[in-house]
Amino acid sequence: MNVGPLVFRVHAIKRMFQRRISEDDVRHVLETGETIEAYPDDTPYPSQLILGWSNVRPLHVVAAENVETMETVVITAYEPDLEEWEPGFKGRKRR
């Protein structure tokens, strides 16, 4: 993902505060992480789920690129749960 200036949705700000995830954590994940799921049909912009690490803490960030404004829109961020994700946090567990 090409990381431009970050724009945080209200939902992202609330969740980041609750989960103690900083703006620096999110930027680091976006700049160094790996896209593990793509959502090309999301609106108003296609988005993606990115896995990255803040020190030893795994983080998932859902973000979209607004190519018109060259901004990166942060939709949410969370620490993946091993009850829902395979070890390595790249794939969802089948139920």
User: What letter does residue 32 receive in the DSSP assignment?
Assistant: H
Q: Which residue has the tokens 């859902």?
A: 62
Q: Where are the domains of the chain?
A: 6-78
Give the model's pLDDT for residue 4: 87
Interval 7-53: pLDDT, tens = 999 999 999 999 999 999 999 999 999 999 999 999 999 999 999 99
Measured over the CA atoms of residue 90, residue 62, residue 4 and residue 20, the dihedral's sign is: negative
Measured CA to CA, the distance from residue 81 to residue 41 in angstroms comes to: 25
CATH topology of domain 6-78: YaeB-like fold (3.30.2310)
Rounded (10°) CA dihedral 84, 16, 32, 40: 70
Helix (H), strand (E), coil (C) string for 81-92: CCCCECCCCCCE
Tokens of residue 52, six digits: 């990255």
